[in-house]
Structure 1
Amino acid sequence: MIERTVRIGSANGLHARPAKLFTKAAADSGVKVTIEKTGGKAVNAASILAVISLGLGNGDEVTIATVDDGASATLDTLVSLLAADHDLPAADAATSETRVAV
């Protein structure tokens, strides 16, 4: 099993738009990935309803995981999506630093 831990970077949490970006990337990867809020239940990372139901806010710590040992790059991509602040104006988002807790 491979897992990564990251803090939600979007200023307004993982609401519909950033959740859609994350779940689409998870689904498109072809890898079964789960996401769980620290101390919570793991849910399917490709399901927008399941991900939104976690109620993830800015700074919340989550763990994404897969049993596919060859999916390290997939998890790295998903971590980047979760750590980015998708609520910044487009010009600011291109220059913001992404903070990743590994």
Structure 2
Amino acid sequence: MPQRRLTVRTEVGLHARPAAQFVRAAAEHPGDVTVARGDGDPVPAKSILAVLALGVRHGDEITVTAEGERAEAVLDALAAIVEAD
């Protein structure tokens, strides 16, 4: 199962608009996608409430995991969202 550790560079972290973009991108993937803050427990990346509850801020490190055929593509899309300035 492909996994990436990413540093969140968006000014507001994964809050409001960036979180919504993140969840939309994850929802386009047919397989399971999870996200965890630091070494915490993973939550479903397709759930806006779960993603917001992580409280991810600018500079935090997250781990994103995806499974399925296009796992690398969804990880690329999610990385582009959180690593954008």
Identify whether the pair has TM-score above 0.5, normalized to the shorter chain.
yes
Please give the alpha-carbon distance, in whole angstroms, between the structure 2 residues aligned to 1:58 and 1:17.
14
Please give the alpha-carbon distance, in whole angstroms, between the structure 2 residues aligned to 1:30 and 1:63.
19
Which contiguous aligned blocks of 4+ residues in structure 1 show a shift greater than 2 angstroms?
Answer: 67-70
Deviation sequence 1:19-57 (CA, Å, 0-9, x none): 000001100122210000112110000100000000000
Residues 1-102 of structure 1 mapped to structure 2, 5 A cutoff: 1-68=1-68, 70-85=70-85
* TM-score with structure 2 setting the length: 0.91
The structural deviation recorded for 1:62 is: 0.3
> Unaligned 5+ residue runs, structure 1?
86-102
* TM-score with structure 1 setting the length: 0.77
Q: What percent identity do the matched residue pairs reach? A: 42
Please give the alpha-carbon distance, in whole angstroms, between the structure 2 residues aligned to 1:37 and 1:16.
17
Larger relative contact order (Cα-Cα within 8 Å, sequence gap ≥ 6): 2
CA RMSD for the aligned pairs?
1.2
Give 1 or 2 for the bigger CA radius of gyration. Answer: 1
- SS of corresponding position for 2:76: helix
- Tell me if the contact between 1:7 and 1:83 (Cα under 8 Å) persists in the aligned partners: yes
Paired residues, what number? 85
> Unaligned 5+ residue runs, structure 2?
none
